[in-house]
Structures are given as structure tokens and as C-alpha cells.
């Protein structure tokens, strides 16, 4: 008799890395293209909050724009914060951590809009329900 194994994250108090529930690995360095396919970006498993950490080790300014995908619409769009502003993370020779509400978003995509990622720059993303 086989035992059922849950494949979704379910309700999570501790943020889970979008690179894998047990992973601490950074995301792939973003490029400057817009998402287009339903499998672009990272699955959110319908978590409520997106935690993003962007580390810029150089004196160069890095800006990453966050996109959202909904299976209900089948389209990508720029994620906005509660004030209606485009969701971006900006880091200039620092580490910036941002938490955004993503209720109902099925996938997220990170687009580099300013700067060049080097081996010393890091982008992390996680999801949680609390």
C-alpha cells in the first residue's frame, strides 16, 4: 500500500524558497526580457506573501521588476504593490529585503531593468502564508 505525499507547500509560517521548499539557493540571475509562457518564472503554490532579497555587491545600482501570472487569465502582468506602484526591488551596494502580498498569483517572474548581475550579486525569493 502506497502512502500519499503532499506536493504543495500548503499553509506555511516560515518562508519557503521558490527554488525548492528545502533550498537556500539563489534564483537564476534575471535578464531584461518580459515573460511570455505559462511556465516562465517560479511557481508560488498560491502563497500569500512574496519575500524578495536582492544583494548588490558592486557600486552599481540593480533594479528588478516583479511580474505576476494567473492561470485564470492566462496572461502575465507587472505586479503592483498596495499603492498601485510597479513592484520593484532596488539595491545599490547593499542588500534589500522586500515583502509583497501576492494573493491569487500562480507564478512570479523577475526582470532586470537596471544594472548588470555579476557573480557577487544575488537574488532570492520565498513564499509564505503568514
Q: What's the chain's Rg over C-alpha atoms?
A: 15
Is residue 22 assigned to a domain? no
Residue found under cell 499553509: 11
pTM for this model (two decimals):
0.88
Asked whether residue 7 is domain-assigned, the answer is no
Task: Give the cell for residue 91.
Answer: 539595491
The answer to whether residue 19 sits within a structural domain is no
CA 85 to chain centroid: 17
Kindly report the three-state secondary structure assignment for every residue of 97-123: EEEEECCCCCEEEEEEEECCCCCCCEE
pLDDT recorded at residue 12: 64
**Quick check: is 14 in a domain?**
no
In terms of C-beta density within 10 A (0-12 exposed, 13-18 middle, 19 or more buried), how is residue 32 classed?
exposed
pLDDT string in tens for the chain (130-residue length): 667 555 555 666 688 999 885 678 899 999 999 999 999 999 998 899 999 999 998 777 999 999 999 999 999 999 998 899 999 999 998 999 999 999 999 999 999 999 999 888 999 999 999 8
On whether residue 124 sits in a domain, the answer given is: yes
Q: How many domains does the chain have?
A: 1
Residue 23 lies in a domain: no
> Is the residue at 43 inside a domain?
yes
Report if residue 2 sits inside a domain.
no
Residues spanned by the domain of 70: 29-128
Amino acid at each position: 500500500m502506497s502512502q500519499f505525499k503532499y506536493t504543495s507547500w500548503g499553509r506555511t509560517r516560515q518562508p519557503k524558497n521558490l527554488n525548492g521548499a528545502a533550498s537556500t539557493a539563489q534564483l537564476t540571475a534575471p535578464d531584461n526580457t518580459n515573460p511570455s509562457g505559462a511556465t516562465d518564472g517560479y511557481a508560488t503554490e498560491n502563497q500569500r506573501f512574496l519575500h524578495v532579497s536582492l544583494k548588490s555587491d558592486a557600486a552599481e545600482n540593480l533594479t528588478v521588476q516583479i511580474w505576476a501570472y494567473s492561470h485564470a487569465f492566462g496572461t502575465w502582468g507587472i505586479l503592483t504593490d498596495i499603492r498601485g506602484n510597479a513592484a520593484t526591488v532596488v539595491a545599490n551596494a547593499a542588500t534589500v529585503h522586500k515583502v509583497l502580498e501576492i494573493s491569487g498569483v500562480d507564478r512570479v517572474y523577475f526582470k532586470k531593468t537596471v544594472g548588470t548581475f555579476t557573480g557577487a550579486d544575488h537574488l532570492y525569493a520565498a513564499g509564505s502564508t503568514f
